Every structure is written in C-alpha cells, then in structure tokens.
Amino acid sequence: MTSARGGGEEPRARVDAVWKLEAARVVAALTRMVHDVGLAEELAQDALVAALEQWPAEGVPDNPGAWLTAVAKRRAVDHLRRAQRAERAHERAASEAPGTAEVPDDADAPDEDADVLRLMFLSCHPVLPTEGRLALTLRLLGGLSAAEIARAFLVDETTVSRRIADAKRALAAAGAELAMPGREELAARLRSVLEVVYLVFNEGYAATWGRELVRADLCGQALRLGHRLAALAPSEPEVHGLVALMELQASRTAARTAPDGSPIPLHEQDRGRWDPVHVRRGFTAMLRARDLGGAPGPYVLQAAIAVCHAQARRPEDTDWAAIAALYDRLASVLPTPVVALNRAVAVARARGPADGLALVDALRDDPRLRDYHLLPGVRADLLRRLGRGEEARREYARAAALTHNDAERAFLDARAADVAAPAAPTTGPTLGDLVDGFLAGLAAPARRAYAQTLGRLVRDLGATTPPAAVDADDVARVVHTSWDGAAATTWNRHRAAVRSFAAWSGRPELADGLARRAADAPPAAPVAPDRVAALCADPAVPVRERALWSLLHESRAPVRAVLALDVTDLDRDDRRTHDGAVTWRSRTARLLDELLDGRTRGPVFLTDRRPGPARTPASADRCPDTGRTRLSYERAEYLFTRATGREATLRRLRARA
Amino acid sequence: MRYLMTTGENSRRPDEALFAEMGAFIEEMTAAGILIATGGLEPGGTTVTSHGDEITVTDGPFVEAKEAILGFALVEVSSHEEALEVSRRFRRIVGDGDSVLRRVMGP
C-alpha cells in the first residue's frame, strides 16, 4: 500500500522520519549480530540506501521500520556467512576441523530493549573523547545524519564524519563490546551516558536564545534519549533525575526569551508560559526518582531545585531556604565553581545579599571562573541590592564585556544603565583612559608586551572604574587569578608590566602584592620519542592534534611559530616551509596530508568551531573556506596536557633529550 | 513540535487483542517521550456559543457517526513526517477509518 495522498511527502523525507524513529533499534540489533558497531552502522546505511532506491519506484512498504530491519539483518547474515566461509577455508587450509559456528538465529527473540541500552553504553564509552561520544550517540541512537549533527554543533560536516569514524575506530581498537557493563563498572558508565545526554540538551538549550532552531531541536533529541534511557534502566534514580531536570528546564523555553530575543531571568519570567506538559512530565520523573530512594545524586538534587521553582506560582513564593539547603548538598556531591556560584545566589535569596556576596567573593580567585560572565553578573546583582550602585555598574560592564551572546550583552548593558548614576560623578580619567595613555607612550614592542597584561587588568577591574577605587589587593587578585600557574618568567613579565604602569601613574604601591619569582627549574624534560609515537598514532585523537604534536617533535620549532603557519607557507613535497625555518619528516608529512585534505589556504591549524557572530577575528587568522580561526596556543596547550594526563606541556614536546 | 491527532470511528472491533496491541503501542510512544496525552471522547458533547453578550449552551453537536471525533492523541515530534509516521503506525492497528493531524501552535 503506497500513500496515495502523501501531503507532498518525499520518499527521502519519509525514509528520514522512519529512520529517526527506528535507528536505535536497528543499529542495536545489528551490533549484537556482527559484534562491531562500525560495521553495524554501515549495514544499516546500506539498508537506508536500498530504501531510497526502492521505495520511490515500488511504493513505501506497509511497515517501513520492519522492512529496514529485515533488509539490514539480511545483509548482516550475508556478511557473517561470507566471513565464516573465509574462516572455514582458512581452517581447512590449516588442516583443522571445519568451524561449527552458525549464523545467529534471528528467531531466538533477543531482547530489543537490552540491545538499545547496551548500544547507549557503547556509544558513550569512556575511551572516547566527549565530542566523539556526542556525535556517535546522536548518529546511532538519534538517527541524525552527519550534516544534521554538524549544523547543530556549528562545525563542518567533514569534522563530524571524522569524529564518528575516529570514535568507531577507537571502540574497535579498545575491543569495546556490546556487553552490559559489570556491576562495579556500571555506575561510572551510566554517569557517562547521563553526561552525554545532558550535554546534548544544554547545547540545544543554550542555543534557543539565538533562535537557532536546528540547535534547539537538540533538546528534543536529549529528552527522547533521556526518556528512552529511563524506560530501559528504570531502577536508576539518577536517570529519572536527569529526565526531570531536562523536562523542567524545557518547560521554561518559551518564557525565558523576550520577543526581541533577550533573555528573561527566572524570577522575572511569566510563569503562565511555563509549559505544563513538560512540568507534569518532570514531576512524574521526580516522583519515580524519589520512590527509588537512596542518597540523591547530582541530577536528582538539581531536579529537586528545579521542582522548587516550578512549584512556586509567583516568584515571591519561592522556597529559597529549601533551595539553598539543596545547593549545600549539591555543592558537596558536585563541587564545581558554577554550582558554587548558583549556591551563592540561592543563599543571597534565603539569607540576604551580604551572605551571598561573601560566598561570591570567595570565588573571585578561582581561575576556572576567570572569563565566566555570570560571576561579575551575579556580583553586580548583589552589590545593587546592597545599595553599592557604582560597584554594581562596573560589574555589569565587566559581565557585558565577557559574554559572547549579543542578547545577553544588551541585557547587561541595560542593567548597568539602570543602576543609579554615581552620586558624585567621576570627572578624572578612568582606569581604561589611564592604561591607554600609558601604552600610547611606549615603543611598539613594549606596548604589545604590556597591552596583554594591562588589558586583562582593565577587563577584570572595569574600564570605567576610577583609578582611585583600585587598590593593591585588586591588582594582586587579578594577576594571581590569571597567571598563578604560569612559568616564573611569564609571571615576572606580567609583574614588570604592572610595576611599570603603577610607577608611571604615580601609585607604585599598586604592585605591592606581586612578588618576584625565582627563575624556572632547569628546562623541561623532553617527552620520550615512543610516547610521542604512541600519541601520534592514537586513532582516538583528532588528526589536527596528532599533526601538530608530530610537527613540533620532528621540527623542534617554537610552538608559536608552528601555530602561526599558513597552508601557503608549506612546501609539502620538500617537507619544509618555503623559508626553511621549519622542517619535518614522513610521519608529519602523512598527518599533514590527512589534516589539510584539499585545503589550499588559511591557517594550518584551525579551531573546531567557527567564531560567534559577535567576534570577528583578523582575516589572516581565519580560514577563508571554513570560516574557522587559527588554533590558539592556550587551546593547543590544553589539548596536549589533557591528552597526556597533565604530565607534559607542548614545550616539552620540542625539547631535546 | 506538537501535533494533535483526532480520530473517528475505526473498523476494527475493540477486543482483547486490540487493547493489548494498543496498550503496547501507547506504552512505547510514552516511553519514547513522543506521546504526551491520549484519550477517547464521548460522541456529541456540549456546545457553548457566544453571540454578543449572550452565551448559550446546547447539547451536541450530533453529527453522523462517520464524522464524529472519538479519540485524540497529542504527540511531541521533531518533524511533520515523524508525526505522519506515528499516525501510520496507529492506523495499522485500528483498521479502516480516518485520522486528522494538526500542528499545535505554541506554547
């Protein structure tokens, strides 16, 4: 039976819709049959291609899901028979008894649900990098195409295809099986699945402010994955906690954005616009989690906080004491700076802004929150409520300078403007003016060196701050938060910049909190060559990183010089740059070929993401074809230290033994 | 996005097998987070009409059996095609008849 009045339906759209509903089941069943998730997905794709070829001509089958499963399984059986024949031939050649293994019987009624759950564990396997887990999960369990995933994560399609391929290879290399994790492993593996689902949700939820609907659909994907997981693992309270948390957050989607796209804070939202369907499903999931009992985990606690909000009909009815108590418990099981900041907000509501401010101020030294715009944002709110208008205004301005979201920046600027103008308007130059004046009087090289240090000072203390309001403690806090972990020479360079500026502005005491540091211990020990070889051959690591590490190791060139290379600088035939400054050998040559893959211009090493619309980097640092920007030293360093478990830095990669 | 599917009379007689099949289908769709709400509707009902300041309440509408709306399902899907696919699965269970699918605007 074909659909007579298809409502303009195209076979492709129909195949796609069927696939999104059936992908998880089909791929899970195939993986059980062939014991290889990569092969299972290929077989499933073959079945999809067959559908696209046959359905337009022969009509869409009555039960398209069953059709796809049947075709894919037939191909799997064919594959297994071929493999067995090959194996038997091999065994006969070795004069041994013929193999007796049979193609698994499809009629033994396997447990479809258990297969899907195992597939979730597999696609969120801890051997995979986070991006690999996200891409593989959306691909295998959500039935999304590489193009759809790429659009959702603002990367190009090749990157996503590579992440998926790398992930499959890494799973095969690790010998990861479609088996249920053992009891001792189960908790950690489940946490990984929950984390992936929540990351997918947050990626979509953060995007709805930008009205990017493709990305907002990620919320729907995450909710579906969450519900599916809850049905498959009904005795795990954290699973229900996550579903409750996502449902309650989803209930506020319509209410949290003003018609002009600007965000509306929770306590100012029109609660009538909270979607009761999501609220109800969130409450239901929460009740399930509570019925299961046990000590509440991070998702249940966060969901419990969301429940408190959802239960308050008006903002003033919110039970802040209960929320603050929940945050106290959450901070002990999930001790992240962001949770600590939210806890401070709750405490401020429950016990007053002064108590909250004390908690926030304790976080100002945390380098992880250095560029997090909500820290000055929250501080500003509390200062305003304490009547410290001028300080609040400066904090709003700092928060606005740190956010990457246009709508949010406009909102923070408006807040800053709302705060009562200072009682005695400052007439003298601001901190920003003073720094500009100081830098203008320097020769170019010194200006560039000092601009980084003083730019950070201005950003953190506020450009409009009157210099008299700044003291040595403020300066010391900024410099310590930013560069405490830096090498002694770097630290001393920043210190010199601050001292020079302080002396010039007639207030040398501003640098008093900064002690000179003894020079570094002997130069960093090199990374062992076989360690480098292993890193550069690890299929779980993206080719960009491997090419960079290999190049640094083989060329011994300075890290910044290598990151500054453009495709046009390379003479790939002669394995050197045109100016001869950087040379390399065969491993790097191979990795560079793989990395560049047809690119003819732009930086060699690019970031994963395109920059947001608000940030337009210099064109020399942007690839004209992909729009992505040059990989930064900081990011490259981070990727390397993460890959080596924090034991080595990029400089050690190029050090000589 | 959400769709409301309404359904008239279906040819298959409601027996135990139908209940079992429908129960499994509803359970699967709910677990997948797709089905939000579903239910059967009494035939006819009550009509509330406003005209100027006046509000009148009358029994009905009494329409022909084949035009009556007797059931509904509210579903959360990611595309129109997906809503159609869910409806197709429903129709395969209940025999001959019509379902009408409408996109729900908002919330």
Neighbours of B44 (CB within 10 A): 12
Could you give the CA distance from residue A250 to residue A282 in angstroms, rounded to a whole number?
9
Segment A583-616, tens digit of pLDDT: 898 889 989 988 888 888 889 999 877 766 555 5
| CATH assignment at residue B96 | 3.30.70.1060
Classify residue A568: in a domain, yes or no.
yes
Subunit contact A277:B31, Cβ cutoff 8 A:
no
The token pair at A217 is 């659909």
Segment A289-312, tens digit of pLDDT: 999 988 999 999 999 999 999 999
Out of A113-117, A124-128, A373-377, A446-450, which region has the weakest mean confidence (pLDDT)?
A: A446-450
Of the candidates A112, A98, A137, A101, the one whose C-alpha atom is nearest the C-alpha of residue A30 is: A112
Segment A45-63, tens digit of pLDDT: 899 889 888 888 888 887 8
Is it the case that residue A267 has pLDDT exceeding 60?
Answer: yes
Neighbours of A278 (CB within 10 A): 22
3-state secondary structure of A462: coil
Q: Is the dihedral of CA A463, A609, A368, A386 positive or negative?
A: positive
Asked if residue A268 and residue A394 are part of one domain, the reply reads yes
Chain A residues with CB within 8 Å of chain B CB: 7, 9, 13-14, 16-18, 20-21, 62-64, 217, 220-221, 223-224, 226-228, 230-231, 254, 273, 275, 277, 281
Chain B nearest CA to A280, separation (Å): 10
Q: Which of A369, A391, A418 is the last residue of a domain?
A: A418
User: Structurally, how many domains does chain A consist of?
Assistant: 3
Could you give the CA distance from residue A481 to residue A179 in angstroms, rounded to a whole number?
45
Question: Which positions ≥6 away from A494 have C-beta within 8 Å?
Answer: A453, A479, A482, A483, A486
* A366 contacts A388 by C-beta, under 8 angstroms: no
Q: Which of A418, A446, A472 is the last residue of a domain?
A: A418
Asked if residue A393 and residue A311 are part of one domain, the reply reads yes
Domain containing residue B25: 2-104
Chain A nearest CA to B13, separation (Å): 21
Is it the case that residue A237 has pLDDT exceeding 90?
Answer: yes
Asked if residue A543 and residue A469 are part of one domain, the reply reads no
Q: Can you give the pLDDT at residue A34?
A: 87
Please tell me chain B's helix, strand, coil percentages from 3-state DSSP, rounded to the nearest 5: 30, 35, 35
Neighbours of A622 (CB within 10 A): 20
The residue in chain A having the minimum alpha-carbon distance to the alpha carbon of residue B82 is A17
Among candidates A7, A230, A273 on the partner chain, residue whose Cβ is nearest the Cβ of B107 = A273
Neighbours of A427 (CB within 10 A): 6
Q: Can you give the pLDDT at residue A107?
A: 42
Could you give the CA distance from residue B44 to residue B56 in angstroms, rounded to a whole number?
16
B84–chain A Cβ distance below 8 A for any pair: yes
Can you give A21-49 as a three-state secondary structure string?
Answer: HHHHHHHHHHHHHHCCHHHHHHHHHHHHH
* Banded model confidence at residue A490, pLDDT cuts 50, 70, 90: confident
How long, in residues, is chain A?
Answer: 657
Segment A349-389, tens digit of pLDDT: 999 999 999 999 999 888 888 888 889 999 999 999 898 98
The token pair at A14 is 């129909």
Q: Can you give the pLDDT at residue B98?
A: 92
Residues of A in contact with B21 (CB under 8 A): none
Query: At B49, phi and psi to the nearest 5?
Result: -115, 135
Is it the case that residue A619 has pLDDT exceeding 80?
Answer: no
Subunit contact A227:B106, Cβ cutoff 8 A:
no
According to DSSP, residue B96 is labeled S
User: Structurally, how many domains does chain B consist of?
Assistant: 1
Q: Which of A395, A418, A441 is the last residue of a domain?
A: A418
Return the bridge partners of A570, or none. Answer: A577
Asked if residue A596 and residue A533 are part of one domain, the reply reads yes
Asked if residue A494 and residue A363 are part of one domain, the reply reads no
Could you give the CA distance from residue A360 to residue B76 in angstroms, rounded to a whole number?
40
Average pLDDT of span A221-229: 91
Domain containing residue A468: 431-511
Instruction: Determine which helix (DSSP H) or strand (DSSP E) holds B99, and give its type and residue range.
Output: strand B99-104
How many Cα neighbours within 13 Å face the side chain of A232?
24
Instruction: Determine which helix (DSSP H) or strand (DSSP E) holds A571, and give its type and residue range.
Output: strand A570-571
Asked if residue A399 and residue A250 are part of one domain, the reply reads yes
Burial class (CB in 10 A: 0-12, 13-18, 19+), B105: exposed
Q: Can you give the pLDDT at residue A479?
A: 85
Asked if residue A347 and residue A369 are part of one domain, the reply reads yes
Q: At what angle do helices A529-537 and A586-596 cross, to 10 degrees?
A: 30
Subunit contact A224:B81, Cβ cutoff 8 A:
no
Classify residue A454: in a domain, yes or no.
yes
| CATH assignment at residue A337 | 1.25.40.10
Classify residue A12: in a domain, yes or no.
no
Asked if residue A559 and residue A534 are part of one domain, the reply reads yes
Could you give the CA distance from residue A442 to residue A444 in angstroms, rounded to a whole number?
6
Could you give the CA distance from residue A422 to residue A429 in angstroms, rounded to a whole number?
15
B32–chain A Cβ distance below 8 A for any pair: yes
The token pair at A139 is 């691909």
Subunit contact A21:B82, Cβ cutoff 8 A:
yes
Classify residue A99: in a domain, yes or no.
no
3-state secondary structure of A57: helix
The token pair at A198 is 């929540």
Question: Which positions ≥6 away from B71 have C-beta within 8 Å?
Answer: B6, B7, B38, B39, B40, B41
Could you give the CA distance from residue A269 to residue A389 in angstroms, rounded to a whole number?
24
* A124 contacts A196 by C-beta, under 8 angstroms: yes
Residues of A in contact with B106 (CB under 8 A): 254
Classify residue A206: in a domain, yes or no.
no
Burial class (CB in 10 A: 0-12, 13-18, 19+), A70: middle
Query: At A647, phi and psi to the nearest 5?
Result: -85, -20
* A242 contacts A226 by C-beta, under 8 angstroms: yes
Can you give A601-618 as a three-state secondary structure string?
Answer: CCECCECCCCCCCCCCCC
B33–chain A Cβ distance below 8 A for any pair: yes
Subunit contact A63:B106, Cβ cutoff 8 A:
no
**Residue in the structure block whose two tokens are 């060559």:** A529
Average pLDDT of span A334-355: 92
* A233 contacts A243 by C-beta, under 8 angstroms: no
Q: Can you give the pLDDT at residue A325?
A: 95
Is it the case that residue A172 has pLDDT exceeding 60?
Answer: yes
Task: Name the region of A506 (left: φ>0; alpha: ψ -120 to 50; beta: rest).
Answer: left
Could you give the CA distance from residue A405 to residue A262 in angstroms, rounded to a whole number?
10
Q: Can you give the pLDDT at residue A13?
A: 83
Could you give the CA distance from residue A586 to residue A594 in angstroms, rounded to a whole number?
12
Q: What ranges make up the beta strands (E) of A423-464?
A: none
Across the A:B interface, residue pairs with CB atoms under 8 Å apart total 54
According to DSSP, residue A421 is labeled P
Q: Can you give the pLDDT at residue A612?
A: 62
User: Buried (b) or exposed (e) across A432-471, using 16+ Cβ within 10 A?
Assistant: bebbbebbeebeeeeeeebbebbebbbbbbbbbbbbeebe
Could you give the CA distance from residue A381 to residue A388 in angstroms, rounded to a whole number?
10
Segment A518-541, tens digit of pLDDT: 875 555 677 778 888 888 888 888
**Residue in the structure block whose two tokens are 């908790």:** A187
Query: At A504, phi and psi to the nearest 5?
Result: -60, -40
Segment A126-153, tens digit of pLDDT: 889 989 999 999 999 988 888 888 887 7
Could you give the CA distance from residue A414 to residue A631 in angstroms, rounded to a whole number?
34
Could you give the CA distance from residue A471 to residue A477 in angstroms, rounded to a whole number?
10
Asked if residue A458 and residue A376 are part of one domain, the reply reads no
Chain A nearest CA to B16, separation (Å): 23
Asked if residue A258 and residue A396 are part of one domain, the reply reads yes
* A390 contacts A420 by C-beta, under 8 angstroms: no
How long, in residues, is chain B?
Answer: 107
Among candidates A20, A226, A277 on the partner chain, residue whose Cβ is nearest the Cβ of B36 = A277
